[in-house]
Amino acid sequence: MSTAANLVTSAADTDQAQRALFWSAANNFQKGQPDVPCHVFVAERDRAIDEGTGTALIPLDLSDRLGLDYPATVPNLLARYVRVAGGDEIAFELASSGEAYYVMEGSGEVEKGHERFAWAAGDAFVLPGAGGSTRIRADAGGTLLWMVTDEPVFAFFGIDKSPLRDEPGAIHYPAEAIEAEMGLIHRRVDDGKQSGKAVLFTRADLTANHLATPTVAFAYNSLSPEDDQPPHRHNAAALTLCVQGEGVHSMVDGRKVDWLDRAVMVTPPSALHSHHNRGPAMMYSVVAQDGGVFYNARTLGYATS
SS3 annotation, 166-230: CCCCCEEECHHHHHHHHHHHHHCCCCCCCCCEEEEECCHHHCCCCCCCCCCEEEEEEECCCCEEE
Report the CATH number that the domain containing residue 210 is assigned in CATH: 2.60.120.10
Find the domain containing 214 and state its range: 39-297
Domain presence at residue 1: no
pLDDT at residue 22 tops 90 = no
Using pLDDT thresholds of 50, 70 and 90, give the confidence band for residue 29.
low
**What is the structure's pLDDT at 23?**
77
Residue 111 maps to a domain: yes
Contact (Cβ atoms closer than 8 angstroms) between residue 147 and residue 100: yes
At residue 110 the predicted structure's pLDDT band, cuts being 50, 70 and 90, is very high
Query: Does residue 15 lie within any of the structural domains?
Result: no
Q: What is the pLDDT of residues 82-104, one digit of tens each?
A: 999 999 999 999 999 999 999 99
pLDDT the model gives residue 166: 65
CA-to-CA distance for 88 and 141, rounded, in angstroms?
10
**Would residue 130 count as lying in a domain?**
yes
Q: CA neighbours within 13 Å on the CB side: how many for 29? A: 0
Give the model's pLDDT for residue 130.
84
Does residue 163 have a pLDDT over 80? no
Q: Does the structure show a pLDDT above 90 at 10?
A: no
Q: Is residue 29 part of a domain?
A: no
Please state the domain count of the chain.
1
Mean pLDDT value of segment 143-151: 98
Question: Is residue 8 situated within a structural domain?
Answer: no
Mean pLDDT of the chain: 91
**Residue 5 maps to a domain:** no
The region of weakest confidence among 85-94, 157-166, 249-258 is 157-166
Band the pLDDT of 191: cuts 50, 70, 90. Answer: low
In a domain, 72, yes or no: yes
Provide the pLDDT for residue 190: 65
User: Quick one: pLDDT at residue 207?
Assistant: 86
Task: Count other Cβ atoms within 10 Å, centred on residue 47.
Answer: 15
